[in-house]
Amino acid sequence: MSPPVLLDYASVLIFALTGALVASRAQLDIVGFAFIGALTAVGGGTLRDVMLDRHPIFWMGDPTYILIAVSAAVLIFFTAHLVESRYRWLLWLDSFALAVAVPAGVSAAIMMAQPMPIVVLMGMVTGCLGGLMRDVVIGEVPLVLRKGKLYVSAAFAGALTGALLERLGFEPLIILSACGAVTWALRAGSLAFGWKLPIYKAHPPKE
The 3-state DSSP composition of the chain as helix, strand, coil percent (nearest 5) reads: 75, 0, 20
* Exposure b/e, 53-64, CB count within 10 A at least 16 = b: ebeebbbeeeee
User: 168: pLDDT confidence band, cut at 50, 70 and 90?
Assistant: very high
- Mean of pLDDT over the chain: 93
Residues 107 and 3: beta-carbon distance below 8 Å: yes
User: 66: pLDDT confidence band, cut at 50, 70 and 90?
Assistant: very high
Percentage, residues of the chain above pLDDT 90? 81
**HSE toward the beta carbon, residue 52, CA cutoff 13 A:** 31
Integer Cα distance of 170 and 109 in angstroms: 16
- CA distances from residue 143 to 73, 152, 198 in whole angstroms, order as listed: 19, 9, 17
Kindly tell me if the per-residue pLDDT of 152 is higher than 80: yes
C-alpha distance across the termini of the chain, in Å: 65
Say which DSSP state 40 is in.
H
The phi-psi region of residue 118 (left if phi > 0; otherwise alpha if psi is between -120 and 50; otherwise beta) is alpha
User: 149: pLDDT confidence band, cut at 50, 70 and 90?
Assistant: confident
For the chain, how big is the Rg over CA atoms in Å? Answer: 17
Q: Looking at residue 9, what is its pLDDT? A: 94
